[in-house]
């Protein structure tokens, strides 16, 4: 078993098996089953490739053998930093079959995040594209490797320069011992509650349930053509049901290089896409673009929206403008997923974030004293269940506060539950800014800003925003000449921070409002900024 992984207690594990949540299969074996039953069906489409199930299955086997020969062993972590490309899919399945563990970095991540992930995971290899959207990942790899020499191998999709081409990691398929279904299959990134990002271990058993039960709830079958528009390293387009859920039922995955209407609409029309998933700001953008783009979107049957709160007004437009059904998804990489269902009344689909996926998802909605609030009241959502983690990877100390003693995960989300079981997300208690689905770990950005010589003190707050839900604003107490936004963002970029974490606004203040305990009062601070803006 992977050290640093917290398993479920034996009695609960036995129960989840008995109840059929954990089926004792691995992610790699599910692809094999599909390849045997329908080898010539199309599994994956991207700009450059069109792979049948047989081809994907073989590619995964050959890659697994090649990785094995290069010394990648079961349990080794491999940092995967790829865009939406066919190689992402074959590589993940190769690693699943080998029993090595992909660590899924987001395309926007840069030196700071990647170095942190490499260090925390102890990854032995780093897989990158040569260039992506104008950014040279080989330069990033050089910088990261200089700081993290444990990263033995850099494998490149495309032109490798001094590194190794992924295409050359190829060998005759060979028998490999493979993982147990209860082993960790992959490490996902947390949106964060405090400080730097955490890693979320997901087992074959639990993630396969996550993907297949999501597929059922979203009505997927072998005729599904799923468009991965969001970055596939994210749990939502990866397994809710996303890429893995689609492949598990024998459907076709179409990979879009970006989620822009320009790229996505072209693919929807060409590939007759039936299902896709978006975050709310992109749903809004698609709704606007659909009015004038003139693309044929008539194949679309279902649009899933999640990652941040969807406004009812936007929800209402999905059917009339895109001509498809809406499914709201309130999920987290940590596990728990909530979906609105096809049989739900229209009103609930529009105005709630859905109800739990599994009958045995346990939910507690609690007040500040950790006691359950009255039904229908707002409180923090705590949860445990057959696909919700029991501990972050290698985070013993953080785990003591992130979970209750009986193993409930503290989501940091404020919700209320309707008598039907549906949840409405009302806010949060965690210090994260949700910028249209991109999660900004506030403390991390504040720490980097504090390193700037002109910053005496700083507080990052979320301000309401029409398009994104929230935008970030850095409130700065200056040391000497007040720094501007361009200067601070240049500083953060030079440190190698992902672009979505850069403050959208910088406001220089004399002092911060404080709580009785002397902590920055962020909600009052946000009101002060609003006041400054709108008078
Ligand atoms: C998804 O996963 P993460 O890990 O990036 O972020 C989880 C957090 C939740 O704790 C919540 O704060 C927020 O994102 N969130 C929503 C939401 N869906 C997620 N807030 C309001 N309304 C929603 N519908 O974001 C994620 C994972 C799987 C499926 C969908 C989203």
For 29, 101, 185, 202, 434, the CA distances from 64, given in Å and listed in that order, are 13, 12, 14, 20, 37
pLDDT in tens, 480-505: 999 999 999 999 999 999 999 999 99
* Predicted local distance difference test score (pLDDT) of residue 148: 95
Q: Are 158 and 136 in contact (CB under 8 A)?
A: no
Q: Are 34 and 243 in contact (CB under 8 A)?
A: no
- Segment 498-526 mean pLDDT: 94
Ligand 1 centroid to 334 CA: how many Å?
Answer: 10
Ligand 1 pocket member 512 (CB < 6 A)? no
Q: Does the residue 22 lie in any domain? A: no
Q: Is the pLDDT of residue 377 over 70?
A: yes
Quickly list H helices, 337-409: 346-351, 396-402
Q: Does the residue 471 lie in any domain? A: yes
Q: Does the residue 252 lie in any domain? A: no
pLDDT in tens, 149-160: 999 999 999 999
From 105, 109, 191, 314, give the residue whose CB has the most ligand 1 atoms within 8 Å, as the site to mutate: 191
Rg (C-alpha) for the chain, rounded Å, is 23
Q: Does the residue 439 lie in any domain? A: yes
* Predicted local distance difference test score (pLDDT) of residue 214: 99
Q: Whose CA is nearest to atom 5 of ligand 1?
A: 191
- Decide: helix, strand or coil at residue 323: coil
Ligand 1 pocket member 280 (CB < 6 A)? no
pLDDT in tens, 199-251: 999 999 999 999 999 999 999 999 999 999 999 999 999 999 999 999 999 99
Phi–psi pair at 273, nearest 5 degrees? -65, 140
Quickly list H helices, 309-362: 312-317, 346-351
Q: Whose CA is nearest to atom 6 of ligand 1?
A: 332
Ligand 1 centroid to 330 CA: how many Å?
Answer: 5
Q: Does the residue 228 lie in any domain? A: no
pLDDT in tens, 386-426: 999 999 999 999 999 999 999 999 999 999 999 999 999 99
* Predicted local distance difference test score (pLDDT) of residue 517: 86
Ligand 1 centroid to 423 CA: how many Å?
Answer: 13
Q: Whose CA is nearest to atom 14 of ligand 1?
A: 307
* Predicted local distance difference test score (pLDDT) of residue 193: 65
**pTM of the predicted model as reported, rounded to 2 decimal places:** 0.97
Ligand 1 pocket member 191 (CB < 6 A)? yes
What's the residue count for the chain?
A: 535
Per-residue three-class SS string for 465-480:
ECCCEEEEEEEEEECC
Total number of domains in the chain:
1
Ligand 1 pocket member 307 (CB < 6 A)? yes
Ligand 1 centroid to 311 CA: how many Å?
Answer: 14
Percent of the chain residues past pLDDT 90, beyond the cut: 95
Ligand 1 pocket member 422 (CB < 6 A)? no
Q: Are 381 and 411 in contact (CB under 8 A)?
A: yes
Ligand 1 atom with minimal separation from the 305 CA: 24
Q: How far apart are CA 513 and CA 281, in angstroms?
A: 31
Ligand 1 pocket member 411 (CB < 6 A)? yes
Q: Are 432 and 192 in contact (CB under 8 A)?
A: yes
Ligand 1 pocket member 344 (CB < 6 A)? no
What is the residue-averaged pLDDT of the chain?
97
Q: How far apart are CA 377 and CA 396, in angstroms?
A: 32
Ligand 1 centroid to 67 CA: how many Å?
Answer: 34
Domain, as residue range, for 442? 432-534
Locus of tokens 């969807």: 310
Q: How far apart are CA 463 and CA 523, in angstroms?
A: 10
Q: Does the residue 467 lie in any domain? A: yes
- Decide: helix, strand or coil at residue 132: strand
Structure token digits, residue 252: 């076709």
Q: Does the residue 494 lie in any domain? A: yes
Q: Are 483 and 455 in contact (CB under 8 A)?
A: yes
pLDDT in tens, 185-201: 999 999 876 667 899 99
Q: How far apart are CA 395 and CA 122, in angstroms?
A: 13
Burial class from Cβ neighbours inside 10 Å (0-12, 13-18, 19+) for residue 49 reads middle
* Predicted local distance difference test score (pLDDT) of residue 65: 98
Q: Does the residue 461 lie in any domain? A: yes
CATH code of the domain covering residue 467: 3.30.300.30
Q: How far apart are CA 56 and CA 44, in angstroms?
A: 8
Q: Are 164 and 138 in contact (CB under 8 A)?
A: no
Q: How far apart are CA 205 and CA 5, in angstroms?
A: 15
Percent of the chain residues past pLDDT 70, beyond the cut: 99
């Amino acid at each position: 078993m992977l050290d640093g992984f917290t398993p479920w207690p034996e009695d609960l594990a036995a129960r989840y098996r008995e109840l059929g949540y954990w089926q004792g299969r691995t992610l790699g074996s599910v692809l094999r089953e599909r390849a045997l039953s329908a080898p010539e069906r199309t599994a994956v489409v991207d700009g450059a490739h069109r792979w049948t199930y047989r081809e994907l299955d073989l590619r995964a086997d050959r890659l697994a053998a090649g990785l094995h020969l290069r010394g990648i062993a079961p349990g080794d972590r491999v940092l995967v930093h790829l865009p939406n490309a066919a190689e992402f899919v074959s590589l993940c399945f190769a690693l699943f079959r080998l029993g090595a563990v992909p660590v899924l970095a987001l395309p926007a991540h840069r030196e700071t995040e990647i170095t942190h992930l490499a260090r925390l995971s102890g990854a032995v290899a780093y897989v990158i594209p040569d260039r992506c959207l104008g950014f040279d990942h080989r330069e990033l790899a050089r910088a990261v490797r200089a700081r993290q020499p444990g990263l033995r191998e850099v494998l490149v999709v495309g032109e490798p320069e001094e590194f190794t081409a992924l295409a050359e990691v190829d060998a005759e398929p060979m028998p490999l011992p493979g993982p147990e279904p209860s082993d960790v299959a992959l490490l996902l990134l947390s949106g964060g509650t405090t400080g730097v990002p955490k890693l979320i271990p997901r087992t074959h058993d639990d993630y396969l349930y996550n993907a297949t039960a999501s597929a059922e709830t979203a009505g997927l079958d072998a005729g599904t053509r799923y468009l991965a528009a969001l970055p596939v390293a994210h749990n939502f387009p990866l397994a809710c049901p996303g890429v893995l859920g689609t492949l598990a039922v024998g459907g076709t995955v179409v990979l879009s290089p970006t989620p822009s209407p320009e790229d996505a609409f072209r693919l929807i029309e060409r590939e007759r896409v039936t299902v896709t998933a978006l975050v709310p700001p992109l749903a809004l953008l698609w709704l606007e673009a659909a009015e004038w783009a003139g693309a044929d979107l008539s194949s679309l049957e279902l649009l899933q929206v999640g990652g941040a709160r969807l406004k009812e007004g936007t929800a209402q437009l999905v059917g009339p403008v895109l001509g498809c059904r809406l499914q709201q998804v309130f999920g987290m990489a940590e596990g728990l997923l909530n979906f609105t269902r096809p049989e739900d009344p229209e009103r609930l689909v529009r105005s709630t974030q859905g109800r739990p996926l599994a009958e045995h998802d346990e939910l507690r909605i609690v007040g500040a004293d950790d006691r359950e609030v009255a039904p229908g009241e707002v409180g923090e959502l705590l949860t445990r269940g057959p696909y919700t983690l029991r501990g972050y990877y290698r985070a013993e100390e953080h785990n003591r506060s992130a979970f209750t003693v009986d193993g409930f995960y503290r989501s940091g989300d404020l919700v209320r539950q309707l008598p039907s079981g549906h949840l409405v997300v009302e806010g949060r208690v965690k210090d994260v800014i949700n910028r249209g689905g991109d999660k900004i770990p506030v403390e991390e950005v504040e720490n980097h800003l504090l390193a700037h010589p002109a910053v005496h003190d700083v507080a990052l707050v979320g301000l309401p925003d029409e398009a994104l839900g929230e935008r970030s604003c850095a409130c700065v107490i200056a040391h000497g000449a007040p720094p501007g936004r361009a200067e601070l963002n240049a500083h953060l970029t030079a440190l190698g921070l992902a672009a979505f974490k850069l403050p959208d606004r910088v406001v220089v203040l004399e002092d911060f409002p404080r709580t009785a305990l002397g902590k920055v009062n962020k909600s009052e601070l946000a009101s002060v900024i609003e006041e400054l803006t709108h008078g």
